[in-house]
Amino acid sequence: MNSQEFPPRQPMILGFDPGRDKCGLAVLGLDRRLHYHEVISASEVVSTIIALRKKYPISILVMGDQTTAKRWKQRLSQELQESLNIVLVDERYTSLEARDRYWQMYPPKGLVKLLPQGMRQPPRPIDDIVAILLIERYLNRLTESVNS
């Protein structure tokens, strides 16, 4: 998914849901407008991040803090040509949230509509939607700290 506004005029945040085999990436503006999201293989992460940084003014990378996070953070710090500020965000329950968000973004059609939402399984991996949620959690945390 891509935005119509080129080049974007505001700093962007890159969301990264790290995994062993596949990873989710998303780019959100500070206005919370979604500019990009995709699930890619783990082997494509570094090259895809480099390409996204050429296309969008990414100022920070927000990443889930669970299983593979430390290894990915170290790898990205070593392999990205230009350093990027990496922030870890609590990733608990994001997979469950992402399933619900998937159906908001892509309303069910046909017989799937008849199933209760809790029984619906998205027809594709949703790691990119987890990446969107990680950015939103980061932005919510910033907003809460400003408002308190």
pLDDT 10s per residue in the chain (148 long)?
444 445 557 889 999 999 999 999 999 998 899 999 999 999 999 999 999 999 999 999 999 998 788 899 999 988 987 888 999 999 999 999 999 999 999 999 998 889 888 888 999 999 999 999 999 999 998 877 667 6
Q: Where are the domains of the chain?
A: 12-140
* pLDDT at 8 (0 to 100): 56
Rg of the chain in Å (alpha carbons): 16
CA distance 8 to 2: 11
Query: What 3-state class would DSSP assign to 40?
Result: strand
* 85 sits in which H/E element: none
Query: What 3-state class would DSSP assign to 55?
Result: helix
Listed in sequence order, the residues at least 6 apart from 94 whose beta carbon sits closer than 8 Å to its beta carbon are 17, 64, 130, 133, 134, 137
CA distance 40 to 141: 27
Classify each residue of 5-18 as buried b or exposed e, where b means 16 or more C-beta atoms within 10 Å of its C-beta. eeebeeebbbbbbb
Q: Is the pTM of this model over 0.85?
A: yes
* pLDDT at 112 (0 to 100): 87
CA distance 100 to 53: 29
Domain made up of 12-140: CATH architecture: 2-Layer Sandwich (3.30)
DSSP symbol at 30: T
